[in-house]
Structure 1
Amino acid sequence: MLLSEIQIRDPYIVTDREAATYYLFGSTDRDIWNEGTGFNAYVSTDLKHWEGPHAVFRPEADFFAEKNFWAPEVYVYQGRYYMFATFRRKDNQLLGTAILDADHILGPYRLRSDGPVTPTDWSSLDGTLHVDKQQRPWMVFCREWQQIGDGIICAMPLDADLTAAAGEPVTLFHASAAPWTTPFSAERYPGRDNYVTDGPFLFRNDGQLCMIWASFIDNRYALGLAISESGALQGPWTHRDRPLYNSDGGHGMIFETLEKEKMLALHTPNRTPDERTILIPLVPCLE
């Protein structure tokens, strides 16, 4: 299959150099807004032709969620495969990011944390792993705009085993802090200025700690860039004046190809079932 044939949101690509192989993960339910089936993955050796789907996660009967299975990200950490993914809890109907693990990159992934790691009374999504210079693991995630109006990107320390939080979340920035974002119009919240935070991903560029994250411009999905002035996760964070991508696409991540070219992956358009992954060389985006 070609990427144009694979319906997927929130793409996340892992490069396996030893196997000369790429693995594509993402939100793969045909209707991700309702009942969740699980997550599939696709495999490629050239980023053009993809094989799959491979069922990498299916919930067990007593799983804590049954809808909104979103944004799986897969990491190799201390010799094991970990997945951070968002689900809507059955007990309070709030979103939260949980941690799963597996023996193989294609799973099967099983729940490692005791349900979501994010705060129980917060609607939180799109958790991503960041390991700081002191080798401490953090989950960077979004506190949802639907709950608080002006969405927040937060960071929360994790224990060394990636099973639970090791401290309280700290605020990195609000969505409205970026000069390129505009209020998101939502019928269920009339008269309220809503600013969306979505899909943070951290990376280093020439020693700088950077983050790409998504929001909206005139109700169209867009992707922006923030830079930590201190070089540390706690910031302060400053934002580029203009978005990196504003053509109804977002929730991006950055990976390095087998040829060591840095690429930006994101999904566009932001409507179901038409969303597809596109790949863009990184350097032109940052210049």
Structure 2
Amino acid sequence: MAKVVTNQDLQLRDPFVIPVPEEGVYYLFGSTDRNIWGKGIGFDVYVGKDLNAWDGPYAAFRPEADFYAENNFWAPEVYKHQERCYMFATFRRKDNNLLGTAVLVSDSLRGPFVPHSDGPVTPKDWSSLDGTLYIDEAGLPWMVFCHEWQQVADGQVCAMRLSLDLRESAGEPVVLFTASEAPWTTSFQHPRYPDQDNYVTDGPSMYRAKNGELLMLWASFINNTYALGVARSASGSVLGPWVQDAEALYQSDGGHAMLFEALDGRLMLAIHTPNQTPNERPLFLEVEEQEGRLRVVAEARGKISNWLR
């Protein structure tokens, strides 16, 4: 049954916010299974007016018995496109146990969402996650996504053209950059891969700055702590080349970000923090933008994150 829940009590990873000014509310999606590392139940949506108190959960997606995935339902992002609502979400396939991003569709932000693509649209033999939609200057759709570090060691961010109806790929994936190219990332050793340095790419999100620059927010790790960085396209195109900012935008165990304009006009950053289950919570921080450079407003960071300490 739906009830009111505040950010402090809301277990949610990978927050994705859709402001709806005509309704005076925000819709909040995210990875909402209590154990996102295990069997997937589905995705919920919450509705609120102030980015703190939310009505919900409302069931946005529940899989049918013959759904192609059973575990790891991650990172739903929802877009209004061509008069319908499309959800990009990551699932672990049953047939090969690899992650991939699929597309679901609904006529309403509240759902119910149903499969739109025939399984994940990312390459079948890749372990891919966190697909995000980008519409280029010509009006053509792309998916920007991560090629997982567990398969390539140095995690990649890739872009791939989509068909106009968003049902399938319309080209081969292109590697935009690897995690180790950023000056701020550090490697880590994993017991499963003891002889290699591993670098994570996670949660890419596109943003066109006021000065016209195309930015990408993406997450990785600094000394095993979750962090958020910014890359910028030197050409203004999704294909780059991409230049990494020297320092992380946020490095206090938070990431998987997106930017949105609040109902009062402020530019807001949505992340989850901390990065440990079941303690992850949505966090919304005001951001200042000057000539394409982003800065988290210090007062907002201190005020909102006090309860996390």
Q: Does 1:275 align with 2:280?
A: yes
- Determine if contact 1:185/1:219 at 8 Å carries over to the other structure: no
Aligned to 1:5: 9
The count of aligned residue pairs is 287
Structure 1 residue matching 2:150: 3-state secondary structure: helix
- Partners of 2:176 and 2:139 in 1: how far apart? 19
Letter in 2 for 1:23: Y
Q: 1:185 aligns with which of 179, 185, 189?
A: 189
Residues 73-84 of structure 1: matches in 2 within 5 Å?
A: 73-84=77-88
- RMSD (Å) for aligned C-alpha atoms: 0.9
Residues 73-222 of structure 1: matches in 2 within 5 Å?
A: 73-205=77-209, 206-222=211-227
Aligned to 2:257: 252
- Partners of 1:217 and 1:46 in 2: how far apart? 32
- Partners of 1:42 and 1:77 in 2: how far apart? 20
Q: Does 1:48 align with 2:52?
A: yes
- Partners of 2:189 and 2:34 in 1: how far apart? 25
Structure 1 unmatched runs, 5+: none
- Partners of 1:121 and 1:37 in 2: how far apart? 25
Aligned to 1:286: 294
- Partners of 2:73 and 2:253 in 1: how far apart? 22
Report percent identity of matched pairs. 60
Q: 2:241 aligns with which of 222, 236, 240?
A: 236
Aligned to 2:301: none
- Partners of 2:34 and 2:137 in 1: how far apart? 39
Letter in 2 for 1:226: A
Letter in 2 for 1:212: L
1:185 deviates by 2.4
Q: Does 1:29 align with 2:33?
A: yes
Structure 2 residue matching 1:191: 3-state secondary structure: strand
Letter in 2 for 1:27: S
Q: Does 1:17 align with 2:21?
A: yes
Aligned to 2:299: none
- Partners of 2:121 and 2:202 in 1: how far apart? 18
Letter in 2 for 1:231: G
- Partners of 1:254 and 1:225 in 2: how far apart? 12
Structure 2 unmatched runs, 5+: 296-309
- Determine if contact 1:2/1:48 at 8 Å carries over to the other structure: yes
Structure 1 residue matching 2:189: 3-state secondary structure: coil
Task: Give TM-score, length-normalised by structure 2.
Answer: 0.92
Structure 1 residue matching 2:238: 3-state secondary structure: coil
1:173 deviates by 0.4
- Partners of 1:23 and 1:194 in 2: how far apart? 35
**Deviation per residue, 1:124-165 (Å, 9 max, x gap):** 000000000000000000000000100100000001001000
Greater than 3 Å deviation, 4+ residue runs: none
User: In terms of mean alpha carbon deviation, does 93-102 or 12-21 score higher?
Assistant: 12-21
Structure 1 residue matching 2:249: 3-state secondary structure: coil
Structure 2 residue matching 1:192: 3-state secondary structure: strand
- Partners of 1:239 and 1:104 in 2: how far apart? 37
Letter in 2 for 1:238: V
Aligned to 2:307: none
1:191 deviates by 2.2
